[in-house]
Amino acid sequence: MSNHYLLVPSTGLCDLKYLEELSLRLNSFTGELPTCLRNLTFLRVIDLTDNRFTGNIASSPLSSLLSLEYLLLANNNFEIPFESFANHSKLKLVDADNNSVIVQTSSKSWIPKFQLEALSLINCSQMPSFLHYQHHLRFLRLSKCNISGDFPNWLLENNSKLGEVYLDGNAFTGSLQLPFLPSLKSFDISNNKIQGKLPPNIGSIFPNLVIATMSKNMLEGLLPSSFGYMKDLECLDLSYNKLTGDLPIAFARKGSKLALLRLSNNMLKGEIFPVSTNINNFQYLYLDKNNFSGPIPQKLSTAPLITLDLSYNNLSGNIPPWLGNIPSLTSLTLSRNHLKGHIPPDYCRLEGLEVLNLSENNLIGAIPSCFSSFRSLRRVYLSKNLLQGEFNMFSNSVELKVLDLRYNNFSGLIPKWLGSTLRITTLLLKGNHLQGIIPAELCLASRILDLAHNSISGPIPHCFGNIMQQDDTIETYVYSPAFGYEGFDTFEEDVVIDLELSFSFSLTIYF
């Protein structure tokens, strides 16, 4: 029998009348549950996770197994009307993620006999009404359910022992009126439509919080400094909101455990951190797309940073050479600021660097020759600066997939190693002073290619025609003459060729 059409072997299984725990997870069982499972009246735990079961739970044997305490049904095709469990007084945990969940089938309200400690529903359809009667929850997940209405402050208030709350991916509106939850460790309300200000005393409301994710809402007002005094906070994501004001000094206090801080896409301003602060724990720092100004604080050199993104701000001064003193850096993004000076050769000490983005600044001079030591680089963005010379120093970057050098003053020939030694999939050289012919080797690698506005001469390689024939079914367009590239660093599988050559005509091909 094919693994795609397995049925639960009821013979023998249903005879185990005193069985207390049953796990069938991670199989390929399909169809409805055997009715003889009703015989397992002592069953406390049943785990059916990651199968292909179907059917309505109301008519299944589970509805009559009143001894159940732990019910794990995630990733099946069950229909689950929760009224089926109204009399299950021992039920403590329900995990019904990614099913055809039916929260309520009748307009008549019902009061359950159970008090859940954990409930997880991903892709449900509405707010479960029985939650109004729950007071012992420690874990709550209602994610990606598109539930509308005011944020359920009442739900948090009714369950003072909550340790983890995940209400992300809904359509909650209104404001936050958060109760005191001393046990809360993780709080995720991202991807909603929550408005208003954050409680200024949120640090004392959730005193033991470790992870807070509130991104992609409409929160406004000042960023509460009380976040910085949370003794256990390790991850804070408030990106894509409307927060204003300065970055609180408390975020960089001595003894802080804050390792990930993401404040992208807000309206924060001022200097990033004053000189007197301690920045010794940040590993991931995202302050991009704000209105920060002034220099990049040298205190950052003492942090064990892995990712630093300060792009799309108003930062000024020379590009800091001391960033080369952070050996843990794998991603450095400083694009769209007002930084000036030469690219520091100190960056060559960043042996693990994978992403370097210094685009749209006022950088001058040549790329340091020591960049030839980089072997881990995957994506390099240096467009819209005043850089010059050649760029042979990237020939040893065997992992390089994206190279964007548009709108600089680079000169010389287009290197053959771009296609022969490396396998660069996105090559953007538009708006430089490159000369000579187009190497045929580029056909071996490039999927997005822009050589426009250079001084290239000679024939167009015949192999470009082969690319057209091979990929004429691709429908995603990532380049337009009016608007430029859209997401060229992510749509690496599409073919885009833009050549405006120095003969009497120009050729632009889009696939």
- DSSP characters over 161-199: T--EEE--SSEEES---PPP-TT--EEE--SS---SBPP
Q: For each successive 10 residues of the chain (511 residues), what is the average pLDDT?
A: 52 84 92 90 94 92 94 93 91 93 69 94 87 96 93 96 96 95 97 96 96 97 94 96 93 88 96 75 95 93 94 96 95 97 95 96 95 90 96 88 95 87 87 91 80 88 62 31 37 43 31 26
Indicate the pTM of the whole model. Answer: 0.88
For residue 380, the SS3 value is strand
What is the reported pLDDT for 323? 96
**Closest by Cα among 14, 82, 94 to 46:** 94
Name the amino acid, one letter, at 404: D
Q: Which domain does 61 fall in, by range?
A: 1-136
Kindly report, residue by residue over 140-184, the tens digit of the pLDDT.
999 999 899 999 999 999 999 999 999 999 999 999 999 999 999
What is the reported pLDDT for 483? 34
What is the reported pLDDT for 277? 66
Kindly report, residue by residue over 15-26, the tens digit of the pLDDT.
888 999 999 999
Round to whole Å and give the CA distance between 461 and 447: 15
Contact between residue 359 and residue 379 where contact means Cβ atoms under 8 Å apart:
no
Tokens of 486: 């859209």
Round to whole Å and give the CA distance between 158 and 486: 46
Round to whole Å and give the CA distance between 417 and 395: 6
Residue matched to tokens 């020759």? 369
Q: Provide DSSP, 195-251.
A: -SBPPTTHHHHSTT--EEE--SS--EEE--GGGGG-TT--EEE--SSEEEEEPPGGG
Residue 261 resides in a domain: no
| Residues contacting residue 174 through CB under 8 Å, at least 6 positions apart | 149, 150, 151, 194, 195, 196
**Closest by Cα among 367, 359, 511 to 446:** 511
What is the reported pLDDT for 108? 65
Tokens of 3: 């693994």
What is the reported pLDDT for 479? 32
Residue 13: enclosing H or E segment and its boundaries? helix 10-13
Residue 111 resides in a domain: yes
Residue 131: give its domain's CATH number. Answer: 3.80.10.10
Contact between residue 338 and residue 363 where contact means Cβ atoms under 8 Å apart:
no
Tokens of 79: 């229909």
Residue 117 resides in a domain: yes
Give start and end residues of each alpha helix (H) in 80-124: none
| Residues contacting residue 371 through CB under 8 Å, at least 6 positions apart | 347, 348, 393, 394
Distance from the Cα of residue 85 to its chain's centroid: 36
Residue 360 resides in a domain: no
Residue 282 resides in a domain: no
Residue 127 resides in a domain: yes
Round to whole Å and give the CA distance between 167 and 152: 9
What is the reported pLDDT for 276? 63
Name the amino acid, one letter, at 281: N
Q: Partners of 428 in the beta sheet?
A: 404, 450
Domains: count for the chain: 1
| Residues contacting residue 342 through CB under 8 Å, at least 6 positions apart | 319, 363, 364, 365, 366, 368
Residue 109 resides in a domain: yes
What is the reported pLDDT for 500? 46
Residue 446 resides in a domain: no
Beta strands 409-413 and 386-389: pairing type? parallel
What is the reported pLDDT for 466? 57
Beta strands 507-510 and 496-499: pairing type? antiparallel
**Closest by Cα among 419, 416, 392 to 405:** 392
Where do the DSSP E strands lie in 82-124? 93-95, 100-102, 118-122
Tokens of 479: 């380049």
What is the reported pLDDT for 275? 64
**Closest by Cα among 157, 163, 160 to 176:** 157
